[in-house]
Amino acid sequence: MTIRRATRPPVRPMKLSPSEFSHIFAELEERADEHGERRRHSRIVATAPVRVVDVASRRQYGAITRDISFSGVSLIQAEALMPSTGSQLVVSLPHKRNRPYLARCVVIGARRVAEGICCVGCEFTAFDKDAELA
């Protein structure tokens, strides 16, 4: 008995027309404004593990960067460790081999994105490329 597999036509990628893209982009931008979008700088998607210290509790934990800009960084982390708005954090950003760049940040917003996971928006307030993460 011979089993024959159905052949599928090749998948061809689709592209939006400039007009379609413009309409979709405008709608997404409008919805972002409705949800209090406050970003002032373009972001670069950058996912990397980082160490974080909550200044008030001195608790140290791991997180993953989601994106970074000139003025801040977005972190993905455990919801159980979600800081409140206004909290002070120190984030150890990759800089040089074995010499992280420490960024002091203030939390400008945090929200649950999935069960047990949250996204934390941080605005840079100070940098210290020679300090140790304690």
- The parent domain of residue 103 ranges over 44-128
Ramachandran assignment for 98, one of left (phi > 0), alpha (psi -120 to 50 degrees), beta (any other): left
Amino acid 119: pLDDT? 94
Q: Collect the ranges in the chain with pLDDT lower than 70.
A: 1-17, 19-42, 129-134
Number of domains in the chain: 1
Please report whether residue 37 resides in a domain: no
pTM summary value: 0.67
Q: Which two tokens stand for residue 90?
A: 């120190």
- Give the distance from CA 35 to its chain's centroid: 17
Please report whether residue 39 resides in a domain: no
User: What CATH number did the domain enclosing 106 receive?
Assistant: 2.40.10.220
